[in-house]
């Protein structure tokens, strides 16, 4: 068997085992909620191209909203459902080469986020992943 055939067979084997499983739960502007290998490991990413993206908010993101100015997100850090962190991103400050700590605001408590929501007229949460809530 040639080298190319071995590589192809190996890739098909791993694909069949679910090693390369992934999914997209939501898209809004340049942002996606996505997971790799574990549907409970949902992160918020900024899309760079057809199949590339960079992280903005780590798992476990379970709710988002978007209005072309701001993106808002709720997260259970590391899947800890007893804690809910709130974030927002001002889209005009974000981009392919932006450093996440400079464009992602948060984490905030619910009360802190409510204040920011009123000050900035942040959008509502329009997508919730009930299985992770």
- What mean pLDDT do residues 32-57 have? 91
pLDDT of residue 79: 94
Mean pLDDT, the chain, integer? 86
pLDDT of residue 50: 79
Q: Please, which pLDDT band fits residue 51 given cuts at 50, 70 and 90? A: confident
- What mean pLDDT do residues 47-72 have? 94
pLDDT of residue 20: 52
Residue 37 pLDDT > 80, yes or no?
yes
Which helix (H) or strand (E) covers residue 102, if one does? helix 100-103
């Amino acid at each position: 068997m040639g080298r190319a055939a071995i590589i192809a067979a190996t890739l098909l084997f791993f694909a069949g085992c679910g090693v390369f499983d992934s999914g997209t739960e939501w898209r809004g502007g340049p942002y996606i909620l996505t997971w790799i290998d574990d549907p409970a490991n949902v992160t918020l990413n900024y899309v760079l191209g057809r199949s590339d993206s960079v992280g903005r908010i780590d798992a476990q993101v379970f709710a988002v909203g978007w209005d072309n100015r701001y993106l808002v997100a709720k997260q259970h850090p590391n899947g800890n459902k007893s804690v809910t962190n709130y974030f927002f991103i001002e889209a005009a400050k974000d981009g392919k080469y932006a450093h996440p700590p400079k464009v992602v605001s948060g984490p905030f408590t619910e009360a802190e986020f409510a204040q920011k929501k009123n000050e900035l007229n942040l959008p509502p949460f329009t997508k919730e992943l009930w299985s992770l809530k």
